[in-house]
Amino acid sequence: MNGPLVRRWTEARYQWRSGEGWWATLRARCSSLPGRRFVHTEMVAGDGSVRVTYAGFPEGRTYVVPYLTELLASLPGEVSVREHAPVSWSWIRERVRQPAADAGLLVVGCSRERAHALPADRALMLPFRVHMLLDVDEGTKTHKSVSPNERRQFAKMRREHEWDCEVGTTEADFDFFYQRMHRPTMELRHGERARSVDRAIARHSLFHRGVLLFVREAGVRVAGVLCRLDEGGTLLRMRLLGVLDGDETHYQSGAVKAVYYLAAEWAADNGVRRIDFSGGDPFPAQGVFQFKRRFRPTIAQPRDHFGGRRVYLRLGQDSPALRDLLVRAPLMTVDAAGRLVGTHFADGARPARTGVRTDGTGVHSTQVLDLDEFLGTVKEVKEGVLR
């Protein structure tokens, strides 16, 4: 294909992945066509105390399974993860309605309509993804939305590390970011489940339609972010991030934090009215969720195809270990009216983990679910035994 055709084809691929409007509608319909097969993954805690099953959209292996695996890793032993052959929707539906005797947690990635048709008892619905949107006031520094203490801390770190912002404009700049920053960062942090887009989409649909920003430390590029500009340049979507050679020390130094602060400053100086901090998972205990929340953004459901999807979560076999995990992991859920609700768990022996903030603009309410009531049981947990 010639140049213009390549660009149009690449943009179509980008819109298929991330587009809104009719692109999102088309993607949603295709994802749940009759006869479609879905992934099936089982995770078991090292001590065998909790079994978690994920079945549904393949994107769940990128956005849901890693967090569940990480959660199980907090229990003794090494977590086992097994990928099974693809399954049908009828198989998933029956598995939810008649769970196996040892099922601890059943997690399904599916359309909103299918999720509503599944059993409601002992179950919750989560958005498949959430977005954090920060409004920008013209002529002001966006990071003024964070607390004065946070601003002082960043200003101090900025002086110590001599951070400044550089705009990348050449193809060589793009290649440096993609090869030296983004790819190694994704490979080292996420392995085979790396969250990225291929090089062609990154070049034509992000770099050529957006802005590339580097964080320099004493004149040396140490981190960067590739953004797309939409809505006439007034919406900045932060899409791909990376640190030099994937080096963890740049996370420890705060260079990644500087990416967000300096990108916000660039946006305020260049006519941007809103920043989309990109998609996030509905798991508020994650560090990246809590960090982005410090900017006090609006937490919203996606406008792309993920907006019509749900993560359906149903509790199976009750156990002390399962209760420990639920209390440890507050969730961003969706109520019957489709509104976001920050959800914590607790019981008589386990107080809610309220130190993990789930509130914010865009979140309708927060709640603490009593596990005895939610599970339909009246039981006591004593000395690690559920009675």
Mean pLDDT of 313-319: 91
Residues 216 and 318 in one domain: no
CATH code for the domain in which residue 294 is found: 3.40.630.30
pLDDT at 190: 73
Residue 387 pLDDT > 70: no
pLDDT at 386: 30
pLDDT at 370: 95
What angle do helix axes 320-328 and 65-72 make, rounded to 10 degrees? 120
Contacts of 135 (CB under 8 A, 6+ apart): 273, 274, 298
Write out pLDDT tens, residues 192-240: 666 678 999 999 999 999 999 999 999 999 999 999 999 999 999 999 9
Within a domain: residue 212? yes
Residues 200 and 271 in one domain: yes
Residues 284 and 140 in one domain: yes
Q: Which helix (H) or strand (E) holds 113?
A: helix 112-116
SS3 37: coil
Residue 378 pLDDT > 60: no
Residues 263 and 174 in one domain: yes
Task: Give the residue from 249, 270, 300 where a domain finishes.
Answer: 300
> What is the sign, positive or negative, of the torsion defined by CA atoms of 304, 307, 312, 313?
positive
Residues 160 and 77 in one domain: no
Please tell me the distance from the alpha carbon of residue 211 to that of residue 168, in angstroms, as a whole number: 7
Residue 381 pLDDT > 50: no
Report the DSSP pairing between strands 105-111 and 51-56.
parallel
Residues 214 and 227 in one domain: yes
Average confidence score pLDDT of the chain:
91
**DSSP code per residue over 360-372:** -TT--EEEEEEHH
Write out pLDDT tens, residues 347-368: 999 999 989 999 999 999 999 9
pLDDT at 279: 82
pLDDT at 383: 33
Enclosing domain of residue 63: 38-129+304-386
Within a domain: residue 194? yes
Residues 177 and 253 in one domain: yes
Within a domain: residue 24? no
Write out pLDDT tens, residues 106-145: 999 999 999 999 999 999 999 999 999 999 976 566 566 7
Within a domain: residue 168? yes
pLDDT at 142: 56
Residues 319 and 255 in one domain: no
* Residue 1 pLDDT grade (very low, low, confident, very high; cuts 50, 70, 90): low
Q: Find the largest Cα–Cα distance for the chain.
A: 70
Give the global pTM: 0.90
Residue 191 pLDDT > 80: no
Residue 2 pLDDT > 80: no
pLDDT at 382: 35
* Identity at 7, one-letter amino acid code: R
Note the Cα 137 to chain centre separation in Å.
26
pLDDT at 98: 86
Number of structural domains (the chain) is 2
Residues 218 and 288 in one domain: yes
Torsion angle, alpha carbons of 197, 202, 204, 210, to 10: 130
Residues 349 and 287 in one domain: no
Write out pLDDT tens, residues 12-68: 999 999 999 999 999 999 999 999 999 999 999 999 999 999 999 999 999 999 999
Q: Please indicate whether residue 235 or residue 287 has the higher confidence score (pLDDT).
A: 235
Residue 105 pLDDT > 80: yes
- CA 216-219-222 angle, to 5 degrees, is 35
Residue 7 pLDDT > 50: yes
Within a domain: residue 173? yes
Please tell me the distance from the alpha carbon of residue 63 to that of residue 68, in angstroms, as a whole number: 10
35 φψ region: left (φ > 0), alpha (ψ -120 to 50), beta (else): left
Q: What number of CA atoms fall less than 13 Å from residue 25's CA on the CB side?
A: 2
Please tell me the distance from the alpha carbon of residue 95 to that of residue 103, in angstroms, as a whole number: 10
Mean pLDDT of 369-373: 94
> What is the sign, positive or negative, of the torsion defined by CA atoms of 27, 204, 269, 296?
positive
Within a domain: residue 382? yes
Task: Give the residue from 300, 320, 349 where a domain finishes.
Answer: 300
Tokens at residue 148, please? Answer: 């004065």
Task: Give the residue from 282, 300, 318 where a domain finishes.
Answer: 300
Residues 328 and 381 in one domain: yes
Residues 124 and 244 in one domain: no
Per the CB < 8 A criterion, the answer to whether 272 and 234 are in contact is yes
Contacts of 148 (CB under 8 A, 6+ apart): none
Torsion angle, alpha carbons of 117, 105, 361, 19, to 10: -60
Within a domain: residue 1? no
Within a domain: residue 73? yes
